[in-house]
Chain A
Amino acid sequence: MNLQNQKMTELPVIDGLKRKKNNQKSLLHKGMIPYLLLLPAFIYYAVFWLTPVLSGIVQIFTDKNGNFNLIENFRLMIQADLFDKAIMNTALFAAVSVIIQYFLALLLAVLLSRKFKGSKLLMFIAMIPMAITPTAVAILWKTGLVKEGWVNTILMSLHLIKEPIVFLNAEGIAAVFLIILIDTWTVMPSVMIILSAGLQGMQKELKEAAYTFGANKWRIFKDITLPILKPSIITSVILRLIAAIQVWAIAVMVLGYNKAPFLVERIAFYVEIVPGVETSKMLTFTLSFTTTLIVFITTVIYLRFSKRKTKHGGDY
């Protein structure tokens, strides 16, 4: 073997040789196999992911005359109508919806983790909203939230209100909370499933041992259940945050454009309502770049904050 002549890229051949000392002949080209298998994915991502991402970055630093400009597009974006509100609403929505959804999901997951008659059926029912397309969820809730809709029907038949409420006139914070409510209805089950999976992996012996040593239920929950759930919680919170930052369809379909501005709602607004205008093209680029940046910063901060890097793959 003349290893000196091997190029850097062929180094894995050595790895392959180390792993299997017998059958050396076939292993020489076997070292290339992982790269061949990864090649389609590599080409795909080079063409359809890296190219658009890079060209997108070039775009946001190019002004309308085609010249390089570091801040012009960001200035445009910040000065655009409702941008400040969109940022505030997105932050509010992401934070509050994730907190509410985790509180409810954890409660339900712990309750459903006990095996009792009908717990499977309950889990099945809880999963239904998860399988409903977001667009359909928005229409479902719009039929409820119109003045003569079923939400008012329920509230009035329970004697909680005397006159129908006009939900769709909600503005500002109220509008955001309306969207949070709808989002929670849809998303909570999927969070619950992830937490349930984590709970089912928990060994019963641990709990029993804690009991024997005199721990009460709260201690067991705090010191055994939560730490075991932590990996599932961290992974699913990240996925939730990423999705929450991109909320838009429900807001637009239920309330209409401009009523509850969000970052992605602004992008859709410029694409759908004011297309063809040069500034709206620049704004969509800059907004989508900003959204991506916010997603990344949030993820990184969250990972730092939770002090435990999730292992990619495996547990999600």
Chain B
Amino acid sequence: MDKLNIIQKTVIAIVLSAMVLSVIVPLLFFFSVAFSSDVEMSRFPKPLFPTFALTIKVAPAENNQYEIFYDNGEGYRSILTTGNPSKLETHFKRQYGVTVPGEKLLEDFSKTRINGPMEFTYPKNLFFNFNQFFAIVNNSLPALKNSVIVALYTILISLTIGSLAGYAMARFTFKFKELINVTLLIVRMFPVVGISVPMAVLLIKFGLFDTLIGLALLYSIPNIALTAWVTSSIFIGINKELEEASLIFGANSLQTFMRITMPLAFPALAASSMYAFLTAWNDTISALILTNRNQTLALVVYKAIGTTSSGIQYAAAGSIILILPALVFTFIVRKYVNQMWGGVEL
């Protein structure tokens, strides 16, 4: 019916490619930064793709020393003159992200005594920024562990309590149902900062301040309500005859719930667990308010950026570690989530 003419097709193509570029290009540059060495960070213009090797020029100098030249996009410049292996090693590591023993470098450079100034190429240590992130940012490794644990706690609490409530909302008619429904809506919409500050006081009272379970208790608040909604909409769709058949064959309500209803509700549970995971994984403001030492990875990355922009490549590497689990988790449960969103195909 509505055939497009060539102009409309062109406009659509332009809009869509603009969209693709505006998503992909920043991500490419970002990855490039995360793999950049210190010298590459001061480079301008920035490369779209990361470099995987370093090329330097070395000239022999007096007293067994070597002069090192680096090309910063504007021709070779003298950077350093030394003959000290450990100094060389540190310089290559810190500035270029190249981890090669100093003795090996000196051995390579000694060829210049015969051949004159030469160019050398070394592979970059691609994990250097990632190692640096964990090495220089306080608490980053425990924080990664904390984030995983808090997310698991949150999923566990939200799914257990939420799916029970969701089942009740879908299957039974009872008094106050409408009121409970509205309460769930309010709790779900309630701004997380509104609850975090007084929650800190409560958790101190319970001795749960600065603990992982304390954080999970907070993150579960919106997610129990969310799980209740998501699961109730699925439970309504599940064939009731199946449950009744199970009851007739002598299973009690709990057994029916666990063996028949739960497996059928799996997509809803997968979607809810994704939301629970993302709440816990992505939050910084509540973690900032509710923790001191037991920080989560998102908070550590937030703090890593500090006030200056130096060393931002380490923070970038840290954020890639932060992004990956969320991406993986999102795309594993993607198809279930799509069912929840009314079947947007991907």
- Which residues 106-132 of A have a CB within 8 angstroms of B? 107-108, 111-112, 120, 122-132
Name which residue of chain B comes closest to A289, CB basis: B194
Which stretch in A62-70, A74-82, A91-99, A189-197 binds the other chain? Answer: A189-197
Alpha-carbon distance between A129 and B181 when the two chains are bound, in angstroms: 32
Residues of B within 8 A of A59 (CB): 198, 201
- A135 engages B322 (CB within 8 Å): yes
Residues of A within 8 A of B26 (CB): 140-141, 144, 150, 185
Residues of B within 8 A of A139 (CB): 30, 301, 305, 312, 315-316, 318-319
Alpha-carbon distance between A312 and B177 when the two chains are bound, in angstroms: 12
Residue in B43, B161, B184, B323 whose beta carbon sits within 8 Å of that of A148 in the complex: B43
Residues of B within 8 A of A153 (CB): 29, 44-46
Whether A200 touches B342, Cβ cut-off 8 Å, given contacts A12-B175, A41-B164, A128-B23, is yes
Among A140, A242, A314, which residue has the most Cβ atoms of chain B within 10 A?
Answer: A140
- B319 engages A288 (CB within 8 Å): no
Residues of B within 8 A of A200 (CB): 342-345
- A284 engages B197 (CB within 8 Å): yes
Q: What is the distance, in angstroms, from B324's C-beta to the closest C-beta of chain A?
A: 10
Whether A136 touches B342, Cβ cut-off 8 Å, given contacts A295-B189, A313-B232, is no
Residues of A within 8 A of B253 (CB): 30, 33
Alpha-carbon distance between A205 and B318 when the two chains are bound, in angstroms: 51
Q: What is the distance, in angstroms, from B115's C-beta to the closest C-beta of chain A?
A: 35
Residues of A within 8 A of B191 (CB): 242, 245-246, 288, 291-292, 295
Query: Interface 1/0s, chain B 206-234, versus A by CB < 8 A?
Result: 00000000000110110010001100110
Residues of B within 8 A of A141 (CB): 26
- A136 engages B301 (CB within 8 Å): yes
Name which residue of chain A comes closest to B327, CB basis: A131
Alpha-carbon distance between A153 and B32 when the two chains are bound, in angstroms: 13
Residue in B30, B48, B197 whose beta carbon sits within 8 Å of that of A288 in the complex: B197
Alpha-carbon distance between A24 and B193 when the two chains are bound, in angstroms: 48
Query: CB of A34 within 8 A of chain B?
Result: yes
Q: What is the distance, in angstroms, from A192's C-beta to the closest C-beta of chain B?
A: 9
Residue in B167, B220, B318 whose beta carbon sits within 8 Å of that of A37 in the complex: B167
- A143 engages B312 (CB within 8 Å): yes
Name which residue of chain B comes closest to A265, CB basis: B285
- A123 engages B189 (CB within 8 Å): no
Residue in A16, A135, A194, A288 whose beta carbon sits within 8 Å of that of B282 in the complex: A135
Query: Interface 1/0s, chain A 281-316, versus B by CB < 8 A?
Result: 000110011011001000100000000000011111
- B217 engages A19 (CB within 8 Å): no
Q: What is the distance, in angstroms, from A186's C-beta to the closest C-beta of chain B?
A: 10
Alpha-carbon distance between A135 and B191 when the two chains are bound, in angstroms: 18
- B189 engages A242 (CB within 8 Å): yes
Whether A196 touches B344, Cβ cut-off 8 Å, given contacts A12-B172, A125-B24, A135-B298, is yes
Interface of A is mostly: helix
Residues of A within 8 A of B319 (CB): 133, 135-136, 139-140
- B282 engages A292 (CB within 8 Å): no
Query: CB of A187 within 8 A of chain B?
Result: no
Query: Interface 1/0s, chain A 200-239, versus B by CB < 8 A?
Result: 1100000110010000010000000000000000000010
Query: CB of B27 within 8 A of chain A?
Result: yes
Which stretch in B13-21, B56-64, B123-131 binds the other chain? Answer: B13-21
Query: CB of A249 within 8 A of chain B?
Result: yes
Query: Interface 1/0s, chain B 173-202, versus A by CB < 8 A?
Result: 111000011111101011111111111011
Nearest 6 CB-CB pairings of A with B: A56-B198, A292-B194, A136-B319, A150-B29, A37-B168, A12-B174
* 15 more A-B residue pairs beyond the given contacts A139-B301, A242-B189, with a C-beta to C-beta distance below 8 A: A12-B174, A44-B161, A59-B198, A136-B322, A144-B26, A185-B23, A185-B26, A200-B345, A248-B285, A288-B193, A288-B194, A292-B194, A295-B190, A312-B184, A316-B229
Query: Could you give 10 example pairs across A and B, Cβ below 8 Å?
Result: A59-B198, A128-B23, A133-B319, A144-B26, A150-B46, A168-B309, A200-B343, A207-B1, A253-B305, A267-B197
Residues of B within 8 A of A (CB): 1-2, 12, 15-16, 19-20, 22-27, 29-30, 32-33, 41-46, 48, 157, 160-162, 164-165, 167-169, 171-175, 180-185, 187, 189-199, 201-202, 217-218, 220-221, 224, 228-229, 232-233, 253, 281-282, 284-285, 288-289, 298, 301-302, 305, 307, 309, 312-313, 315-316, 318-320, 322-323, 326-327, 330-331, 341-346
Residues of A within 8 A of B (CB): 11-12, 15-16, 19, 30-31, 33-35, 37-38, 40-41, 44-45, 48-49, 51-53, 55-56, 59, 107-108, 111-112, 120, 122-136, 138-144, 146, 148-150, 152-154, 156-157, 164, 168, 185, 193-194, 196-198, 200-201, 207-208, 211, 217, 238, 242, 245-246, 248-249, 252-253, 256, 264, 267-268, 271-272, 284-285, 288-289, 291-292, 295, 299, 312-316
